[in-house]
Each structure stands twice: as structure tokens, then as C-alpha cells.
Structure 1
Amino acid sequence: MKMGPRLDLRQSQSLVMTPQLQQAIRLLALSNLEIESFIAEELDKNPLLEMARDEQAPTADARDTDSGDLGEAAARDGFEGHEGIDGDLAPAEPQSADRLLEQGAEAGDAPLDVDFDSETFMHDSNADMGRGQDGGLSMEGGVSGVGGGDDGVDFDSFAGASLSLHDHLLMQAGQSLDEPVLSVARGLIDQIDEVGYFTGSVLEMSQRLDVPGVLVEQALAAVQGFDPAGVGARSLAECIAIQAREADRYDPAMARLIENLDLLAEGKLSQLKRICGVDDEDLGDMVRELRGYDPKPGLRFSAERTEAITPDIFVAKTKQGWAIELNSASLPRVLVNRSYYAELSRDAQDKTSKAWLSDCLTNANWLIKALDQRARTIVKVATEIVKQQEGFFLNGVEQLRPMTLRTVAEAVEMHESTISRVTSNKYLSCAHGIFELKYFFTSGIASADGGEAVSAETVKSHIRALIAAEDAKAILSDDSLVDLLHAKGFDLARRTVAKYRESLGLGSSVQRRRQKAISAKAG
């Protein structure tokens, strides 16, 4: 056989994940707030990208700036005139990522000029919608997407940094204590957790600071006198006792009750009456007093702020059907400044500068197309979810149907992984509240009469309602719940009912009977 170099022609197929395709896929899984952060990073890297201001809204006379308004373009190209699920029109078919890549490769430098009429910008957010005669949101322009604009005053931005528990305690120590107690108190405060409990020991602090144990006890007593009441306690009983002393309610009977909190938790009220030497009325007063104390006093100084959930999608019922729109308040409008590109092109002399400028323009156009594709896909998937779960949006959780990713994927002709990305970290706001899109995908429970399966969330709502309505003298066992649910048409095993009950944070029949007995005494 002759050995030597030679040339051969071979054909093969392979899937190549280009950076643009990876970016388009990654954007699908991001929430609106994450998209805003992503856009901010792109603005820093690409000089041709800029944020649109109200005065920069594109018009028929403004042709030098390309608009990346994420939803208005979607409305113009397919969603405008959308009559909802009950209407005849449907959203335009979103382009696949591969098709998006092909268009980007062919038209990387193609102008993206747009001509929006004034009505588009009159209705670019849920807040701008007028109220229809039926009380729903009026949508003359159909499904509106994401637009820029002034979102109003952000009052959260005026909030100062919250004072932490440690800073609050150190401030009080500096104002009320002197050396050497002050130094020991500072060491003790360092070992107080976020709940407000002292997690160390007097002996360890004495050895570590090389001070007498009596001094540590004195400093700890001083810290326990600080605000909030109960801070610096070493146990729940000590925390409650400190607050009882603060309220001048720490008498011998209350002291014995606090020493036997485990009996109270177990509902052994008769035994507690004997230990405390009180009657039913006095015990009820003492239990009510205990309920007014804070078992975790340090949490009110928690440094973590509670962040409100910002919905990504708004759903409202109108006369024409369902109106579905992206939240314009949380997504900025991105523009490609073509006049600036032309100016830089005139000054670019060498090939390196021209290549860099061309890449910037291509990437900017790509970003706008990817964001527009993301908006279209989210609206299309949300529309199908509303269609599949229309009973929920009309009547609440009891009408929630079992639904899988495959069901939606087949309806919108997308892959299940795409549906999973679209529904991740996205929230939908409707008349019944704010829900994560994943909430609408639930398993099915077989019907007792052989009818249509129901959602697990529907079953949980019935379990919650049955337990909430139970009589204190006739607590429902899991077997009783099975029988009641079977009468409602739900074919469930006892272990399934127990699992759903526990997932709702509801105790067993014994625990609920004990809790209701304590509540009756305290009431």
C-alpha cells in the first residue's frame, strides 16, 4: 500500500452552538430584572447601544436610531389586534433560534428602522391601559410588550441602610456601660445570632477574655436589659422570662409556666394548672400573655430586606378575551445609534478599527433581535398557559388543571427545554395574585368517578379548606379527609393526603387538636 499525504472530500453533519445562539438561549431563562442587569453590561461594552429616553421614542421622522423596543416590535409584527383566546387572531409564530441566526448572518448590518404610531407608546405598559366597561384592562393595541419610559418615583431608593442588631446593641452598650464591663459586653454581642440569642457560654467567654466569670455574668445581664426585650437570652424560656419581667408579669405562676413550656406545647393543660396553682381562667390569661411575647426578638433588625416580586407578565380579562402583556416597567428599551456608527465609520482608517466597529454593530443588532425573540416567545408561551388554564384565571385554584411541559411544547411547536427556560424565574400577575409560571405545571390526580384528572394544587386547596372548617371537637383524621375528598370526586390514598397536608404546613389531627385546645384556653 502506497504511503503518503493525500486529499479526501468527506461530508458530515454537526450541530454548532454559535455564541449568538448560546446568547439567545441564555436570555430565555433570565427574568426581566436579570435582563435589565444583562443589558446594562452590554451597554458598557458596546458604544453603539444606548438606552431609550422618552424624547428618543422613534417616529416617522427619526430614522437615524434603530429601536430595540422588546414588545412593541412584537405587537407590530404579529400581536397587534390580538383578541385573546376567545378571538380569532393568534400571536405570530416566533422564529426559531436557528432562523434568527440565519437572519443575523445575512443582515448583520441591515437597518432596523421602525415607524411606530403614537398609540403604540400610549399603551406601552399595564399602568397606561384604560379601564374598560367590564372593569378589565382595555387593550386597543392588543398585546403590548416592553417599552421604556419614566416609571415614577422609586421610594425604595430613599430608604436608608437598615441598622443591624449588632450595631443597635453596640450603640446601647457604648451609651450605658463603662469599662471593663463594656469590653466584655462587646465580646458577648459578637456571639449573639441574628435571632437575638447568645450562642456562647459564660465559661468560654471568661477564659477567652481572661476575666472573672462574675464580670461576664454582669455584662450578660446588662446586655439582656437592652432593646429589644429578650435579646441575649440563652434559651427560649430565658427569652420569654426576660420579656415577662420587662412587662412586670413575672410572678411565681408565670415563672413555673415558663419553666414548663414543653408541657404547654404538648397541650397538657391539666398538669400545668396543678404545677402553676391556677384555675382555667388564670391559665388562659397566662397563655394569652405568652403569645404576646416575641420568641425571636432579633429578627426585627434583620439586615435582609424583603424584596417584592416583580411580575414579568400581566394577564387581564377583557370583553374580547384575555389580554396578555409583558411588564414594560422592568425592561428598558434598547437602541442602536446608527448616526454614531456613521460618525465612527468616517473616522476609522485602519482595518482593525473598522473590524471592531463592524463587530459592535453586528452584536448590537443581534442583541436587539434576541431580546425581541425572547419577548415573542414569552408571550406565546404565556398565551398557551392561559388557554390551558382558563378555568383557573376565571374561578381560582379549584379549577387548576394538570399540565406538563410537553403539553405546552406540543401546542406551541417548541421543544420542552425551551418551555422550561421560558417559565423559569418568570412571574405572572392576574386577578388571583402573582404566580410563578412553574406553578401552572402540576401533576394530575385521578378522579374517583373516572372523569377528568385534577391538579394536585386543586386537591391541596380542598384539604386546606376542609381543615380550616373543621370543628375543634371533631378534628379530621387523615382517613376522614380521604373519605371527604373521595366524596368530592378525588381518588387519593391516605399517604398521599398526609403528604399534601404536611406540604401545606398543617399538623396531624393530634397536633391540631392540641393547638385548638390551647387556643380555646387563650381565647
Structure 2
Amino acid sequence: MALTPRLNLRQAQSLVMTPQLLQSIRLLQLTSVELERFLEEEIERNPLLERDERGAADGETLPEGLQDLAARDWEEAARPSSETISDRLDSSLENLFPDDPGTHESIGPDLSAQWRSAGGNGLAVSSGEEWSLENVAAAPLTLRDHVREQIGLAFDEPFERLLAAELSEGLDDAGYFQGDAAEIAERFGVEEAAVAHVLGICQGFEPAGIFARGLAECLALQLRVRDRLDPAMRALLDHLELLARRDFQALKRICGVDEEDLVDMLAEIRALDPKPGAAFTSGGADAVVPDVIVRPAPDGTWAVELNTDALPRVLVNETYFATVSANASKQEKTFLSECFQSANWIARSLDQRARTILKVASEIVRQQDAFLVHGVRHLRPLKLRTVAEAIGMHESTISRVAANKYMMTPRGLFELRYFFTAAIQSADGGDAHSSEAVRDRIRGLVDAETAAKVLSDDAIVDILHGEGVDIARRTVAKYREAMNIPSSVQRRREKRALAGAVS
């Protein structure tokens, strides 16, 4: 059979991921902070996209979900009046030429007096008060800045100050020295003993414990300041791994102390700071803004609504698009057309994102009604597929919605993924138990232990079996380790030591 080129016509169906669909999927899985950042970038590059601030300014809410989003008239809402444009631009002479002294004479006595009332230095705050240095926030003091101030006072020789400054560059956020003293000595052409001498002086800086090369040295520096670094304490610091395993019998033998002295030593260790440099770490954690708020309704059900603070809304300025396109060139019209399509798609994607989050959250609330009423012990096992089938969406869509979205409930703030837990079969053939509820039960059993009665994993299994939970011992051990709960042997040692300290 001869091989010849041929043209064939075929029909086939395939799933094509268009750029618009990819963008909708991306918006769906973004957090509220990431969504704000994305919209700021889009508004900056798209002249037809504007932020709708009416909801935040007027304090309007979202009755019954997203009714106002469905009834929104984009064209009417985006049509600015001449007064709005004037207010937005704020193109008065005193704002255009605030620093020109000649302007005050030309704009009239009223405006000139208004400008002078802002203060003689030309700086004013929104409240009308004069600018003050006390209203300016100081830059946070970093660990390296704090160390450099002490370097200037601790060293007289310029070369030693240079070495100390180089050593300070090796500090991590916890205050530990992570550099290589030998490499620094080779680079500066000095003996390693000289670098060690400078490092020893730096280890006396405040806060106590910085420039340490490990946890044991960090604790030793702090104990030296307190004049408590005796031979027994040194032996304890040399065997911190035994302390981590709570092997108090071995520690008493190695340190040569009795149980009472060991309890006092452990109390001193607990009072130390294992990360002395962490207090200078700049920046704080951002507060989590819930995407959905659940409140009790007057009729005994639950009211589920979107949080307007986490729901950005945008407008498409069709008036500006029509005005500019009338006298634009072909290339400019192409650019404006692309911007118009992109803006409309973003607006629709945000609308769809909000509706999808509300649907998923409402179904979760319906499934986990017992949890909202009675607590975590009544959390039901729930799968992504269950919610997907209930609201008619794909399982992957539910997974994207549940990631990094938070729900504020009367029980507290929870990530949506928290409500999706594995099922543990019932021992008596009843309803399955949620793995999170079982974890909470294990944690409660451990918290109720006493020094005379510490539960082993087998004992916890027997108790759970008696409560109708069919669980294996290895599963209990896995849950216990995930919650950072030590073994029964370690818990018994710790409780006996604490009991001895109290007595």
C-alpha cells in the first residue's frame, strides 16, 4: 500500500480551557487578600474597570445571598455625572498649586485663607489639626539595629567593630549565629581565635542568649546572666534530648540531684527564652477575614450570608468606553475592546465566585447543623463529593472553594476544609463518627488524666469502643502524635514531676 498525503475531515468533542475559564478558576481559589491584590493590578492596567465603593460607604448588606448582585445594572451604575467627575479629580487651584506662593493672591481671599488655615508649614491631617511629629509612627527596631548600637559601645578597636558587624550579619530571626567563624577569619586574614574573642563579647549583648550557636548555648548564656550555670545545670543542658523524652530518672542520675532539685531546674529552664531574637521580628500576622458569616435566624434556622468586607465589587465604565471609542484610531479601538471584554468577564467572574461560595457554605451549614448547635463532638463525616452532588457542581470546584476560605460561626472561625472530615465506623452499627470529633474526644481523655492514672493507647481504644467508636490502636497513636501529645510513659513522667513540684 502506497503512502500518500490525504486530507480527512473529522468531528470530535474536546474540553478546551479558554483563558476566560482559566481566569474564573483562578479567581475561585484566591483568598480575599490575593483577590484584592489581583483587582488592584487589573484596575491599574484596565481604564474601564472601577471599584464599586457604594456597599462599604452606605453599609448595605446582601439580603438572601446575592440579590443585589443579580439585579445590578452595570451601565447605569457606571455612568458618572459631571459633578462626580469634578469631585473625583478635585481640580481646584489650591490642590493643583499648593506650594506656589503666587497662587494665593490670584485665587482670591477666601481660598487663600482656607489654605493658610492648614498650618504654617503646609502640612495638615484629615482632622484639621496641625501636623505633629508625635503622629508619625517610628520605624520598628530590628535585631541587627539593636546589635549595631551595642557594637559601638562594646568595642574600641575599629577592626573589632568591623568583625562584630560581620558576625551580626549571620544572625537569624531567632537570634542564633548561623555563620562560619572559620570562613570569616579566612576572609579577613586573621586568626580564628580573634573571631572567637569578638563572638564571645557579642554573646554578652542584650537580649541574653543572642549570638548562640545552638539551643544549649543559648540557654547557657541566659543562665550565666542569672548566675545559675552550675555543674548540674551544665549537665542538664548537655542532655536536652533526655529532657525532650521526659526521661527524668536518667536526668537525676546524670545531674546528681534529687527529684526536688530537678523540678526546680526544670522550672528555671521553662522561664528562659529559646528564641531571644524573635521579639525584634518586624511585621505581625494579618487578621483572618471570614468570607461567610453564619448567624442564628429568628425562625430557628441558620442565616448564611457573604461578608461584604471580603467581597470586592467592580464596575465597568461603559460611558467612558463609548465616549473614547468614538474618536479613537483602529489600534486604540482594538485596545479598548479588549479592555471592555476583560472588564466584563472579571465582573461576571466575581459574581459567579460569590454565588459559588455562598452555595457551598449553605450546604455545609445544612450538613453540619448538629455541630453548630452542640459542638465538635457532633461533627458529621463529610466528603467533597457529597456537597458537589447536593448543589450540582464538580468535586474539584468544591475543593477550590473550600481552600483558604473561612466561615464565622457562633462556634468560632473555621476554614471550610475543617468541615470535610473522614468517617470512622461505629462499633454498634450506628452512624459513622467524624475523625475530628474522635480527635477531640482523645484530647479530652488525655486532659482529664491524673498522675496516678495515665491512659495508654489501648485504654483509650477500649474507652472509645465503649462509646461506639470502632477505631484501631495505630489510629489512636496517629491522631495522638498529630496533636503533639506524648506517649503514656512520657506523660506519666511529666505529671509525676509536676505533682512533685506542687507538693
TMscore range, shorter length: 0.7 to 0.9
> Normalization by structure 2: what TM-score?
0.78
Query: CA shift at 1:37, angstroms?
Result: 1.4
Q: Which 10-residue stretch deviates more, 264-273 or 43-52?
A: 264-273
Aligned pairs (5 A) from 1:68-467? 75-76=66-67, 112-113=75-76, 162-179=140-157, 180-200=159-179, 202-269=181-248, 272-273=251-252, 276=255, 278-303=257-282, 305-320=284-299, 321-348=301-328, 350-467=329-446
Sort the Cα spacing of 1:358 and 1:451 in 2 relative to 1 into closer, same or farther, 3 A: same
- The residue identity in structure 1 corresponding to 2:266 is V
| Matching residue of 1:26 | 26
| Matching residue of 2:94 | none
Query: CA shift at 1:79, angstroms?
Result: 9.1
Query: CA shift at 1:178, angstroms?
Result: 2.4
Query: CA shift at 1:78, angstroms?
Result: 9.1
Q: Deviations over 1:367-425 (max 9, x none)?
A: 21111111111101100011011111112211111111110011001111111122122
Query: CA shift at 1:161, angstroms?
Result: 5.1
Find the aligned partners of 2:446 and 2:155 in 1 and give their Cα distance. Answer: 52
Q: Is contact 1:445-1:453 (8 Å) kept? A: yes
Query: CA shift at 1:254, angstroms?
Result: 3.7
Sort the Cα spacing of 1:330 and 1:345 in 2 relative to 1 into closer, same or farther, 3 A: same
Find the aligned partners of 1:77 and 1:456 in 2 and give their Cα distance. Answer: 39
Find the aligned partners of 2:348 and 2:55 in 1 and give their Cα distance. Answer: 23
Find the aligned partners of 1:6 and 1:207 in 2 and give their Cα distance. Answer: 73
Q: Which 10-residue stretch deviates more, 193-202 or 293-302?
A: 193-202
2:164 is paired with a residue whose SS is helix
Mapped pair 1:49 → 2:40 = no
Q: Is contact 1:336-1:364 (8 Å) kept? A: yes
- The residue identity in structure 2 corresponding to 1:296 is K
Sort the Cα spacing of 1:455 and 1:30 in 2 relative to 1 into closer, same or farther, 3 A: same
Q: Is contact 1:478-1:509 (8 Å) kept? A: yes
Greater relative contact order (CA < 8 Å, ≥ 6 in sequence): 1
2:165 is paired with a residue whose SS is helix
Find the aligned partners of 1:351 and 1:192 in 2 and give their Cα distance. Answer: 59
Find the aligned partners of 1:4 and 1:497 in 2 and give their Cα distance. Answer: 68
Find the aligned partners of 2:411 and 2:178 in 1 and give their Cα distance. Answer: 43
Q: Is contact 2:75-2:317 (8 Å) kept? A: no
Q: Is contact 2:178-2:213 (8 Å) kept? A: yes
Q: Is contact 2:248-2:493 (8 Å) kept? A: no
Query: CA shift at 1:487, angstroms?
Result: 1.1
| Matching residue of 2:106 | none
Q: Is contact 1:403-1:440 (8 Å) kept? A: yes
Query: CA shift at 1:461, angstroms?
Result: 0.4
| Matching residue of 2:128 | none
2:454 is paired with a residue whose SS is coil
- The residue identity in structure 1 corresponding to 2:473 is R
Sort the Cα spacing of 1:72 and 1:363 in 2 relative to 1 into closer, same or farther, 3 A: farther
Find the aligned partners of 2:246 and 2:55 in 1 and give their Cα distance. Answer: 67
Find the aligned partners of 1:280 and 1:7 in 2 and give their Cα distance. Answer: 91
Q: Which 10-residue stretch deviates more, 35-44 or 232-241?
A: 232-241
Query: CA shift at 1:175, angstroms?
Result: 3.3
Q: Is contact 2:439-2:479 (8 Å) kept? A: yes
- The residue identity in structure 1 corresponding to 2:23 is Q
Find the aligned partners of 1:222 and 1:253 in 2 and give their Cα distance. Answer: 25
1:335 is paired with a residue whose SS is strand
Q: Is contact 1:71-1:375 (8 Å) kept? A: no
Sort the Cα spacing of 1:79 and 1:452 in 2 relative to 1 into closer, same or farther, 3 A: farther
Query: CA shift at 1:522, angstroms?
Result: 4.2
- The residue identity in structure 1 corresponding to 2:280 is F
Number of aligned residues: 441
Unmatched segments (≥5 aa) in structure 1: 59-68, 81-109, 116-156
Q: Is contact 2:75-2:319 (8 Å) kept? A: no
Find the aligned partners of 2:167 and 2:499 in 1 and give their Cα distance. Answer: 40
Query: CA shift at 1:49, angstroms?
Result: 1.2
Query: CA shift at 1:294, angstroms?
Result: 1.1
- The residue identity in structure 1 corresponding to 2:464 is L
Query: CA shift at 1:226, angstroms?
Result: 0.8
| Matching residue of 1:64 | none
Find the aligned partners of 1:478 and 1:431 in 2 and give their Cα distance. Answer: 33
| Matching residue of 1:89 | none
Q: Which 10-residue stretch deviates more, 295-304 or 449-458?
A: 295-304
Unmatched segments (≥5 aa) in structure 2: 79-134
Query: CA shift at 1:271, angstroms?
Result: 5.5
